[in-house]
Amino acid sequence: MPKRKSRPQKRRRRSVIAFEMIRLDRTAMEPLHEQLYRQIRDELKSGKFSEGSSRLPSSRVLATDRGVSRSTVRLALSKLHAEGYLRSKPGSGTFVANLLPESFLTADQPKTYQPIHRPARISDRARAIPDKRAGNQFDLGATGAGPGVSLVASIPAVDEFPIAVWERLRAQVLAKKGVNLLRYSSNRGDVDLRKALAAYLCDFRGARCGPDQIVIVAGMQQAMLISAMAVLNRGETAWIEDPCYQQTRRVLSLAGVKVVPKAIDTHGIVIARSPKEPLPRMIYVTPSHQFPLGVTMSFQRRTDLLDFARAHDAYIFEDDYDAEFRFVGPPLPSLQGIDNANRVIYAGTVSKILCPSLRLGYIVAPGQLVDSFVKIRSAMDQHSSPIEQATLARFITEGFFLSHIKRMRKIYAERRDFFIKQFNELLGDRFTLQVPEAGLNIVAWLKREEDFEMIKHITSEIGVRPSGLSFFCIQAKLKPAFVFGFAAWTPTQIRESLVKLASALRNQGKHPSQGRQSR
């Protein structure tokens, strides 16, 4: 018995039209029953009612829901009946009529328009971002490397990331802080994380800062965007290195900044400028390890840069993206640490130290800029995930961060040595390696410049994909070279890739016309 009863009830509930959008105005001149009639009619006119959802609520339910008398409802419904919008089924209720009035059928029918083929309207801001990619090329991320492709620059060994430790710490912080980690949270970032990072940066990067100067961000790109938006007006000038990390140029263009490329010499960014050149308001540099050339900025250039910034009221944006991985000589302190004039905006990221997908980074801002940075973050996306921030804080305070860096430095040093040795053996006839003191990439200069296009073609065919150095150049006219990554692959994989490349190049040498024809 209860079973039989529950079935039709269920069906009825599903099929009743809700009329949730009806709003009756008791102060209006129009009588309530007229308002109700008109709004129900208009909703029926939307034409979205199929056989399965064409039942009206009972007059009692409608009256209660809308807070009017049943007679008001009856008046409205009787008019709809009279005009042919509704039909009654004795014992079942009131339904939308099967054959609707002529006016009802035609009233709001969408007009058929001739399709107009015109290009989508895209903002100047989007157009101004220098990015030739299209469609799913964006889905491969900044490195453009699909799975299975090897020796791509800038990729860390994410398979060495201690997932089990991270998961344990994540569970611990969730158990301890519970729902507090599920709420909107600080725009500055988790306070424990800011304390832990300040201690780490002072001890290991020679920085001079306190937790109040730190703003947690979603990686280096966001650090750049926030900094540019906070200290530069549209149209003002930022200097960037040339060649440069290509995302820097894109981010600064997004911020509406005029980007001026500056050459790199053996000391780092070249500061000299012609009197016609506008003065920069911000100077983007990678002093620990220039990307992509690998130059470490000399002490003299560091002090010159700081003097220049002080003299011309410019800020220096120090991108310290992979300084932890230095293989030769003692670690060099950050530029921020020798800045006495609050000129340096220092930024770091966990993308290389841990993994890029965490999207966590940090800005150390001169005290007087912090509030503006936080203001922009709050208008942008509020904050990074509190759960991941709290987990990272614990990961650092419990010593896993330092031990992971140490372990990875060792792994990377071994891979780097192995790569250099194998590369010189297998490909030394075609390339000269420029071995940097730090970082996860190595530049290989071509011995025969004319081979560049052929090698580019072959590398993309065989899935061994170093980037052409020219890809990172804006105005710089450098000799042809490729930037190889070595960090994310085991020695066996490195050897396999280099052997594959060497033999593809050898075969190309035997049949030089083949590769060129297929290009």
Ligand X SMILES: Cc1ncc(COP(=O)(O)O)c(C=O)c1O
Nearer to ligand X, 242 or 319 (CB): 319
**Interface with ligand X includes 220 (CB under 6 A)?**
yes
On the 0-12 / 13-18 / 19+ scale of CB atoms within 10 A, 272 is exposed
Q: Which of the ranges 37-45, 219-227, 381-389, 422-430 carries the binding residues for ligand X, by CB under 6 A?
A: 219-227
Q: Can you tell me which of 187, 213, 351, 391 binds ligand X, judged by CB under 6 A?
A: 351
Smallest separation (angstroms) from ligand X to the CB of 512 = 34
Give the C-alpha separation, 259 to 419, whole Å. Answer: 35
At 428, the amino acid letter reads G
Residues numbered 243 to 262 that lie near ligand X (CB under 6 A) are: 245
Strand partners, 464: 150
Is 151 buried (19+), middle (13-18) or exposed (0-12) by CB count in 10 A?
A: buried
Question: Cβ closer to ligand X: 85 or 166?
Answer: 166
DSSP assignment of 329-374 equals: SSPPPPSGGG-SSS-EEEEEESTTTT-GGG--EEEE--GGGHHHHH
The 162-201 contact track toward ligand X, x by CB under 6 A, reads: ----------------------------------------
**Which of these segments, 170-178, 200-208, 217-225, 256-264, binds ligand X (CB under 6 A)?**
217-225
* Residue number, 337 or 356, with CB nearest to ligand X: 356
Buried b (16+ CB within 10 A) or exposed e, 431-449: bebeebebbbbbbbbbeee
**Sole window of 20-28, 216-224, 272-280, 419-427 interacting with ligand X (rule: CB under 6 A):** 216-224
| Minimum separation from the CB atom of position 198 to ligand X (A) | 19
Binding window for ligand X (CB under 6 A); candidates: 128-136, 218-226, 376-384, 468-476: 218-226
End-to-end Cα separation, the chain, in angstroms: 77
Tell me: does residue 472 bind ligand X (CB under 6 A).
no
Q: Is 286 in the site for ligand X (CB under 6 A)?
A: yes
Q: Based on CB atoms, which residue is closest to ligand X, 356 or 466?
A: 356
From candidates 85, 104, 166, 291, binder to ligand X by CB under 6 A: 291
Size of the site for ligand X (CB under 6 A): 13
∠380-229-282 over CA atoms, to 5°?
A: 150
Which residues share a beta bridge with 261? Answer: 240
Contact 217, 362 (CB under 8 A): yes
The verdict on 290 binding ligand X (CB under 6 A) reads no
Q: What is the dihedral of CA 506, 512, 518, 519, to 10 degrees?
A: 90
Q: Shortest gap between Cβ of 235 and ligand X (angstroms)?
A: 25
| Contact of 391 with 166, CB cutoff 8 Å | yes
x/- binding map, residues 316-335, to ligand X, per CB under 6 A?
---x-x--------------
The binding site for ligand X (CB under 6 A) comprises: 154, 219-221, 245, 286, 291, 319, 321, 349, 351, 356, 361
